[in-house]
Amino acid sequence: EAGVTQFPSHSVIEKGQTVTLRCDPISGHDNLYWYRRVMGKEIKFLLHFVKESKQDESGMPNNRFLAERTGGTYSTLKVQPAELEDSGVYFCASSQDPHRGEEETQYFGPGTRLLVL
Amino acid sequence: KQEVTQIPAALSVPEGENLVLNCSFTDSAIYNLQWFRQDPGKGLTSLLLIQSSQREQTSGRLNASLDKSSGRSTLYIAASQPGDSATYLCAPTYSGAGSYQLTFGKGTKLSVIP
């Protein structure tokens, strides 16, 4: 079974440009999460989708970040315009069902390393 | 606001030793807790999930315990091997508004010396 995949693995852009990150969750996982680690800090929650609906976007830093999950499958996270402080590693995770034992496990992708110059 | 502290920040042990990694969290109203390992430049690999109603969970040489009331979890690694070298992350889940977000500590960087 394929795990969570993310694209691209690395992205280097200039301040003011736009970048779109993509996440493909494990097939059948309704729950999709985005997290971010900026340099030297802990991994922080950004938002949570249940199917195509945003369940919780309390961790989104500002309105330059837009996440979508059309059709309830893959998700995109767009940063527009990018700022220097957006540099970091963006992780996506998915889980099957947050109410059912082992199905609560969140599985992480390899991350996208974003560098804003 | 949930805060997670992991002690020690780094640990170096000779191969074969048993070791304990500690995790504490400020809000005891957790839903569950996951332990992960992260290898350099890689994503997070889930090791164990322990539900709030459980006291411990085992997988191979790993054993995780949970004491919700005191806000503590430990990860016990038996007979450590060089392949265990990685950063270990503790992440309780706090369920609020229907979301199940993980809150991470900074991790413990483990080095197992052959």
pLDDT single digits (tens) A38-54:
988 999 999 999 999 99
Contact status, residue B78 vs residue B63, Cβ threshold 8 Å: yes
Comparing CB atoms, the residue among A42, A48, A105 nearest residue B99 is A48
pLDDT single digits (tens) A67-94:
999 888 999 999 999 999 999 999 999 9
CB contact under 8 A, A33 and B51: no
**Amino acid A99: pLDDT:** 66
Answer whether A25 touches B (CB < 8 Å). Answer: no
Two structure tokens written together for B111: 């080095």
**Is it the case that residue A102 has pLDDT exceeding 70?**
no
**Amino acid B99: pLDDT:** 75
> Which residues neighbour A80 within 8 Å (Cβ) at sequence distance 6 or greater?
A18, A19, A64, A66
**Amino acid B60: pLDDT:** 96
Strand stretches in A41-111, DSSP E: 43-50, 53-56, 65-68, 75-79, 88-95, 107-108
CB contact under 8 A, A105 and B34: yes
Give residue B98's region: left, alpha or beta (phi > 0; psi -120 to 50).
left
Residue with tokens 């400020």: B26
First and final CA of chain A: distance in angstroms? 37
**Is it the case that residue A22 has pLDDT exceeding 90?**
yes
Which residues of chain A lie closer than 8 angstroms to B100, CB-CB?
31, 48, 95, 98, 104, 106
